[in-house]
Amino acid sequence: MEVSLHSPSGWVSDHDIYAMLVDMAVLQRDEAGIRQYAPQAEELAMRYGHTLYQAIAHRAWGVAHRLAGEYHQAETCLQEALDLFSSLNTRWQIGRTLFELGELAAAQTKVTQARDHFTYALAAFEAMRAAPDMTRTQAALERLK
């Protein structure tokens, strides 16, 4: 995907590519990758007023902060992402962000809070029949027991 940054394309811009790169880093739990791509993803999303990509960047920063043990910053970023995704009514993105909030709470051994976030995420994924996300969320809930 990085190769695309240096190749002209009529339908994909740098802001699209950086949003995808940072989101892939989040899915891979790649803190270094997040920290590499998030600044550009965030800057370009802000420049173009692209709310969805701004929220993706906020979620990415939240995951990077969680992975680094910076829990307060993680919560702030994830909540900002959730607010933006909610304003756009992007159910899958809301579910993914709730899942990350569950991971954050679990990392802090806040079991009740983690269970709540995972349960809300699961409901969002079930409503869309997003099977892989449902499975991942159910596994996270099982780990809390």
User: Of 38, 70, 102, which residue is a domain's last?
Assistant: 70
Give the model confidence (pLDDT) of 131-142 as tens digits: 999 999 999 999
In angstroms, rounded to a whole number, what is the distance separating the alpha carbons of residues 144 and 137?
Answer: 11
State whether 138 and 102 are in the same domain: yes
Give the model confidence (pLDDT) of 26-80 as tens digits: 999 999 999 999 999 999 999 999 999 999 999 999 999 999 999 999 999 999 9
How many domains is the chain partitioned into structurally?
2
Angle subtended by helix axes 31-48 and 14-27, to nearest 10: 150
Cβ atoms within 10 Å, residue 92:
14
Q: What single-letter amino acid sits at 51? A: T
Cα 80 off chain centre by? 11
Structure token digits, residue 111: 């079991």
Give the model confidence (pLDDT) of 100-142 as tens digits: 999 999 999 999 999 999 999 999 999 999 999 999 999 999 9
State whether 19 and 50 are in the same domain: yes
How high does pLDDT run on average in the chain?
Answer: 93
8 Å CB contact between 104 and 121? no
8 Å CB contact between 59 and 100? yes
**Residue 9 confidence (pLDDT) above 70:** no
Q: Supply the range of the domain harboring residue 127.
A: 90-145
In angstroms, rounded to a whole number, what is the distance separating the alpha carbons of residues 99 and 104?
Answer: 9
